Structure 1
Amino acid sequence: MLDFISDTLNQILFASWQHFSLVVQCVILATIIAMVLAVLVYRNKGLVAAANSISAVGLTIPSFALIGLLIGPFGFGVTQAVIVVAFYATLPILRNAVVGLASIKPTVIESARGIGMSRFRTLLQVEIPIAWPVVLAGVRISAQMVMGIAAITAYALGPGLGGFIFSGLSRLGGANSIESVAVGVVGVVILALILDLLLVGLGRLTIPRGIRV
Structure 2
Amino acid sequence: MGQYAGFRELPQNKAVEKWLDSYYHVFSAIQSEFSKETAIKVLNLSQEKLCLYPYEMRAAARVLKAGGTGKDILQMIVEGTLEDPEPVVPEHCEKGKIEEADTWSCNTETLDCILRSVRTWQENPEIPLLYKRGDSLAEQLFNACLELLQYEFEITSIPKSDYDLISEHAFFLVNSYQVLEPEDIDLDAIFECFNDAKINERMIEAENRDKKEKVSSISGKSEKKR
- TM-score tier by shorter-chain length is under 0.3
Scaled by the length of structure 1, the TM-score of the pair is 0.27
Scaled by the length of structure 2, the TM-score of the pair is 0.26
Higher Cα Rg, which structure: 2
Structure with more of its chain in helix, by fraction:
1
Structure with the greater relative contact order (CA < 8 A, sep ≥ 6): 1 or 2? 1
